[in-house]
Amino acid sequence: MRILVGVKRVIDYAVKVRVAADKKGVELNNVKHSMNPFCEIAVEEAVRLKEKKFATEIVAVSVGTKQAQETLRTALAMGVDRGIHVETALRADQELQPLAVAKMLAKLVDKEKAGLVILGKQSIDGDNAQTAPMLAALLGWPQATFAAGVEPVDENKALKVERETDTGSEVLKVNLPAVLSTDLRLNTPRYATIPNIMKAKKKPMELLSPEKLGVDVTPKTSVVSMAEPGKRKAGIMVESVDELLDKLKNEAKVL
Amino acid sequence: MLIGFNFSRRAGRARFFPPLPCPSFGAATPPPLNAQRSALLCITTTATKHSRPFVNQTPPHRFSSEPVPSPPVQFDPFNPTEEHTHLRTTVRAFVEKEVDPQALAFNRREEFNLPLFRKLGELGLLGLSVPAEYGGSGMDATAVAIAHEELSAADPAFCLAYLAHSLLFVNNLAQNGSHAQKSKYLPAACAGTAVGGMCMSEPGAGTDVLGMGTAATKASDGSHYILNGAKMWITNGTVDGQSTGDVYLVYAKTGQAAKDVSMFLVEKGSPGFRLGQKLEDKLGMRASMTAELVFDDCRVPVENLVGKEDGAAACMMRNLEIERVGLAAMSVGLARRCVEIMNAYAKERKAFGQPLNAFGQVQRHVAESYAEYMAGRAYLYYVANQLDLSSSGNGLDADGVKLYCAKMGKEVADRAIQVLGGYGYVGEYQVERLWRDAKLLEIGGGTNEAHHKNMVRDLRKHHERLL
């Protein structure tokens, strides 16, 4: 069983993003980037499934600029066996869109004969949460999104997946092959150890392009303008509980 | 469901502000042809923009997915290879999540955080410079500088304990020990199950190290040596305050000449080896344990002699070089944190209706601190990038970089306190602790005066004309 994992390079979660001068997006230059946190969780889950002997090989895919290779190296250092970099100059947070990525992943699933795909539930830049469902649809495979627990069942022919929904926890059984997307509570990703960082250098990385995969990546939507959220106004102090209730009732109209 | 997530593993203490970007990073346009010249010191290429021949050409269509030719990678002296970058990001993430949050409490209690130290072993940091066959990570002097710089930004005291173990014991044995000795001691030391250190200074011999009084004599049957003497200021000399740490490399005189020094492996529980005293009331570095260790007719088996009898002076000098690079890196790391803290505070805090950083006096503190920090950092990586751990004779710059960086770190920490005023003087804002810790780096691993002496000796002999 081969697992395909998607990893995306995004602006680091701790960076305070700024709107770029041309108002067409956030500033990407001189900003720290790292692996999308949900993708880290996907990698961790794949590595755990391999440690449980459920999988024999893990292949990580990253679509993006040259620097996406750094993200792939991180995945390799965490325990992935080899990487595939699909290079594109598109801005990964806006121009590289879920359908195009899903189509490329579908081609790679076919090429690699993967039996399971694990993706993050969303990337923290575009926040679309669409790639995994689109990929499942393109492949005609079952999907379990927002996974918070994964367990192989039926002699590794299916997965029992706990998923978090707005109304509570749901348990699904999906037959393999399948597509999973990972939620935050699925696991805590490991740190890449230093010896594994050194070993990652020697692991193979294949270089591809959207053209080679025969996928048109032209964006279907474009950003017209982007603006900072409005500044929050300072609060006020109230004199008494009565005044507070009055304001909640008559000004804020929340009571 | 899509909002409000909290990345628990990484949700460490909030950073004051994102890391200072290296100006040469993230340049979206190909660098000009003469970028090579400016690459070494990581200077922006804006000054040369006008000479770029293709600046007015229409850019390629934005939506072309053809891989654009990548700009030639500029040399980054602080992260010369991808592995170094990876090491730095890994250690920094670990430090923010695990080291920062514990620093105040452990330093206040003057306690060594052994569980956290063991986690360094799991990460592969304890044997950073050790070949994989002995349980290490097989990295180089630059990696050593990166690890110390990153750890020290959060907790110099914890980093000092790390240095004493990973450089003074582990790296020293890896460079100078026999295969049998390395196989016996290094795997546990790399994993962190054994805590080690090194014994050089004595109550009456510091800078004058070859004037040490501890002596080893071979027993008449040739099976063991007898060590007598006392060693002082031993970092990791104790872990619990009650007994010695697990294993040490001990220098002792084996002959009459000044350089007749030998090195021995001495384990906890060896007959005649004991904790003299745990040293209390240190100005800083309070989360690392410092002790006096005593050897009273201490029996050490002959197989624990490291290298040749009377042959350890060269080992000592070689290991001092990487030790000094590590200590310089600690100064650089704590200076970075001080610059971050004072910069953030000067931006937020207002006086007379303006942020502090609108005042020239504060601007001077912040700007000079940043410039000196970057100068120290550039010198540090210049030395580290060229230092072959198996070589010796790099004393001039190993002394020089520590001499410069130790003073730089102390002064930057001092300015950080000054910018923060009263807040800087109390522990919660960290710079008070970094200031106390910074002072040790002008004393440990060679006093400033020892560096002066060594450097002038080298300059007089070998460097009449500088390259």
Which among B186, B203, B208, B215 has a CA at the least distance from the CA of B124?
B186
- Give the pLDDT confidence score for residue A114 in this predicted structure: 97
Rounded to whole angstroms, the Cα distance separating A103 from A206 reads 18
**B333: domain range?**
313-462
C-alpha distance from B332 to closest chain A C-alpha (Å): 21
B87/A194 Cβ within 8 A: yes
CB half-sphere exposure, B452, CA atoms < 13 A: 5
Each residue of B169-228: pLDDT tens digit? 999 999 999 999 999 999 999 999 999 999 999 999 999 888 999 999 999 999 999 999
Q: Which residue in chain B is spatially nearest to A12 when comparing CA positions? A: B18
CB half-sphere exposure, B308, CA atoms < 13 A: 6
Domain end point (choices B282, B310, B338): B310
Domain map (residue ranges) of chain A: 2-227
A210/B62 Cβ within 8 A: no
Nearest residue, CB atoms, B125 vs list A16, A184, A194: A194
Which among A132, A129, A138 has a CA at the least distance from the CA of A106?
A138
Q: What average pLDDT does the segment B351-374 reach? A: 97
pLDDT higher than 90, residue B28: no
Asked if the structure places residue B433 within a domain, the reply is yes
Phi, psi at residue B66, to the nearest 5°? -55, 135
pLDDT higher than 60, residue B4: no
A164/B65 Cβ within 8 A: no
**Per-residue buried b or exposed e for B176-190, using 16+ beta carbons within 10 Å of the residue's own CB:** bbeeebbebbbbbbb
Sign of the torsion formed by the C-alpha atoms of B350, B351, B353 and B358: negative
Least confident of B11-15, B211-215, B216-220, B442-446: B11-15
Asked if the structure places residue B45 within a domain, the reply is no
Each residue of B38-67: pLDDT tens digit? 333 333 333 333 433 343 444 444 444 444
Rounded to whole angstroms, the Cα distance separating A123 from A88 reads 17
Asked if A116 and A151 touch (Cβ cutoff 8 Å), the reply is no
Total length of chain A: 255
Domain end point (choices B157, B174, B195): B195
pLDDT higher than 70, residue B433: yes
C-alpha distance from B88 to closest chain A C-alpha (Å): 10
Tokens of B318: 């070689």
Task: Name residues 127-186 of chain A within 8 A of B (Cβ).
Answer: 127, 129, 146, 164-166, 184
A146/B27 Cβ within 8 A: no
B23/A31 Cβ within 8 A: no
Interface probe with B: pick from A128, A194, A209, most Cβ of B within 10 Å = A194
Rounded to whole angstroms, the Cα distance separating A14 from B6 reads 11
- Give the pLDDT confidence score for residue A191 in this predicted structure: 92
Q: What is the CATH number of the domain that holds B161?
A: 1.10.540.10
Give the 3-state secondary structure of chain B.
Answer: CCCCCCCHHHCCCCCCCCCCCCCCCCCCCCCCCCHHHHHCCCCCCHHHHHHCCCCCCCCCCCCCCCCCCCCCCCCCCCCCCHHHHHHHHHHHHHHHHHHHHHHHHHHHHCCCCHHHHHHHHHHCCCCCCCCHHHCCCCCCHHHHHHHHHHHHHHCHHHHHHHHHHHHHHHHHHHHHCCHHHHHHHHHHHHHCCCCEEEECCECCECCCHHHCCCEEEECCCCCEEEEEEEEEEEECCECCCCCECCEEEEEEECCCCCCCEEEEEEECCCCCEEEEEECCCCCCCCCCCEEEEEEEEEEEEHHHEECCCCCHHHHHHHHHHHHHHHHHHHHHHHHHHHHHHHHHHHHHCEECCEEHHHCHHHHHHHHHHHHHHHHHHHHHHHHHHHCCCCCCCCHHHHHHHHHHHHHHHHHHHHHHHHHHHHHHHCHHHCHHHHHHHHHHCCCCCCCHHHHHHHHHHHHHHHCCCCC
Q: Are residues B326 and B303 in the same domain?
A: no
Q: Are residues B133 and B120 in the same domain?
A: yes
Give the pLDDT band (50/70/90) at residue B69.
Answer: low
Asked if B175 and B387 touch (Cβ cutoff 8 Å), the reply is no
Rounded to whole angstroms, the Cα distance separating A118 from A131 reads 11
C-alpha distance from A203 to closest chain B C-alpha (Å): 13
Q: What is the CATH number of the domain that holds B248?
A: 2.40.110.10
Amino acid identity of residue B326, one-letter, is G
- Give the pLDDT confidence score for residue B247 in this predicted structure: 98
| ipTM for the assembly | 0.78
Q: Which residue in chain A is spatially nearest to B66 when comparing CA positions? A: A88
Asked if A34 and B18 touch (Cβ cutoff 8 Å), the reply is no
Amino acid identity of residue A67, one-letter, is Q
Nearest residue, CB atoms, A127 vs list B2, B28, B66: B2
Largest CA distance in chain B: 87
Q: Are residues B143 and B87 in the same domain?
A: yes
Rounded to whole angstroms, the Cα distance separating A80 from A60 reads 7
Q: Are residues B211 and B172 in the same domain?
A: no
DSSP string over chain A: -EEEEE--EEE-TTS---B-TTSSSB--TT--EEE-HHHHHHHHHHHHHHHTTS-SEEEEEEEESTTHHHHHHHHHHHT--EEEEEE--S-TTTTS-HHHHHHHHHHHHHHHT-SEEEEES--TTT----HHHHHHHHHT--EEEEEEEEEEETTTTEEEEEEEETTEEEEEEEESSEEEEE-GGG--PPPPPHHHHHHHTTS-EEEE-HHHHT-----S-------PPPPPPP----SSHHHHHHIIIIIS---
Rounded to whole angstroms, the Cα distance separating B152 from B103 reads 11
Asked if B443 and B285 touch (Cβ cutoff 8 Å), the reply is no
A75 touches chain B (CB under 8 A): no
Chains A, B: CB pairs < 8 Å: 113
A211/B66 Cβ within 8 A: yes
B19/A31 Cβ within 8 A: no
C-alpha distance from B346 to closest chain A C-alpha (Å): 18
Nearest residue, CB atoms, B139 vs list A34, A73, A198: A198
Q: Which residue in chain A is spatially nearest to B140 when comparing CA positions? A: A198
Task: Name residues 195-234 of chain A within 8 A of B (Cβ).
Answer: 195-198, 200-201, 209-211, 217-219
pLDDT higher than 80, residue B371: yes
A194/B90 Cβ within 8 A: yes
C-alpha distance from A140 to closest chain B C-alpha (Å): 25
B25/A194 Cβ within 8 A: no
Asked if the structure places residue B325 within a domain, the reply is yes
Which among A162, A180, A208 has a CA at the least distance from the CA of A38?
A180
Asked if the structure places residue B86 within a domain, the reply is yes
Nearest residue, CB atoms, A30 vs list B21, B93, B143: B21
Nearest residue, CB atoms, A166 vs list B1, B19, B25: B1
pLDDT higher than 80, residue B12: no
Nearest residue, CB atoms, A194 vs list B5, B19, B124: B124
Residue keyed to tokens 């950003």: A223
CB contacts, 8 Å: B89 with chain A: 34, 74
Which among A99, A66, A226 has a CA at the least distance from the CA of B82?
A66
Asked if B121 and B164 touch (Cβ cutoff 8 Å), the reply is no
Q: Are residues B235 and B338 in the same domain?
A: no
Rounded to whole angstroms, the Cα distance separating B165 from B168 reads 6
Asked if the structure places residue B1 within a domain, the reply is no
C-alpha distance from A128 to closest chain B C-alpha (Å): 9
Rounded to whole angstroms, the Cα distance separating B117 from B129 reads 17
C-alpha distance from B322 to closest chain A C-alpha (Å): 19
Q: Which residue in chain A is spatially nearest to B95 when comparing CA positions? A: A191
Q: Are residues B320 and B396 in the same domain?
A: yes
CB neighbour class for B51 (10 Å; exposed up to 12, middle 13-18, buried from 19): exposed
C-alpha distance from A5 to closest chain B C-alpha (Å): 20
Each residue of B385-408: pLDDT tens digit? 999 999 988 899 999 999 999 999
Interface probe with A: pick from B3, B24, B65, most Cβ of A within 10 Å = B65
Q: Are residues B323 and B410 in the same domain?
A: yes
Rounded to whole angstroms, the Cα distance separating B75 from B73 reads 6
Rounded to whole angstroms, the Cα distance separating A202 from A169 reads 41
**Per-residue buried b or exposed e for A148-160, using 16+ beta carbons within 10 Å of the residue's own CB:** bbbebeeeeebbe
Q: Which residue in chain B is spatially nearest to A210 when comparing CA positions? A: B65
Q: Are residues B341 and B370 in the same domain?
A: yes
Least confident of A224-238, B278-292, B442-456: A224-238
A29/B67 Cβ within 8 A: no
Q: Are residues B327 and B420 in the same domain?
A: yes
**Per-residue buried b or exposed e for B271-281, using 16+ beta carbons within 10 Å of the residue's own CB:** eebebbeebee
Q: Are residues B393 and B324 in the same domain?
A: yes
A29/B26 Cβ within 8 A: yes
A194 touches chain B (CB under 8 A): yes
* CATH class of the structural domain A2-227: alpha beta
CB contacts, 8 Å: B87 with chain A: 194, 197
Report the catalytic residues of B.
323
Q: What average pLDDT does the segment B72-94 reach? A: 89
CB contacts, 8 Å: A166 with chain B: 1
C-alpha distance from A94 to closest chain B C-alpha (Å): 11
- Give the pLDDT confidence score for residue B72 in this predicted structure: 54
B63/A218 Cβ within 8 A: yes
Rounded to whole angstroms, the Cα distance separating A160 from B19 reads 42
Residue keyed to tokens 């009459």: B256
CB contacts, 8 Å: A194 with chain B: 87, 90, 123-125, 128, 137, 139, 143
- Give the pLDDT confidence score for residue B253 in this predicted structure: 97
A29/B28 Cβ within 8 A: yes
Q: Are residues B179 and B212 in the same domain?
A: no
Domain end point (choices B275, B310, B345): B310
Q: What's the structural domain count of chain B?
A: 3
Average pLDDT by consecutive 10-residue portion of chain A (255 residues)? 97 93 92 95 98 96 95 96 97 95 97 97 95 98 96 95 91 96 95 92 95 95 91 88 94 88
A189/B9 Cβ within 8 A: yes
Nearest residue, CB atoms, B89 vs list A15, A31, A34: A34
Phi, psi at residue A21, to the nearest 5°? -60, -35
Asked if B141 and B389 touch (Cβ cutoff 8 Å), the reply is yes
Nearest residue, CB atoms, B93 vs list A88, A184, A191: A191
Asked if B345 and B160 touch (Cβ cutoff 8 Å), the reply is no
Is-cis flag, bond preceding A142, omega within 30? no
Which among A10, A79, A9 has a CA at the least distance from the CA of A43?
A79
Rounded to whole angstroms, the Cα distance separating A76 from A3 reads 13
Q: What average pLDDT does the segment B221-238 reach? A: 97
Q: Are residues B283 and B220 in the same domain?
A: yes
Interface probe with B: pick from A184, A197, A218, A221, most Cβ of B within 10 Å = A197
End-to-end CA distance of chain A: 57
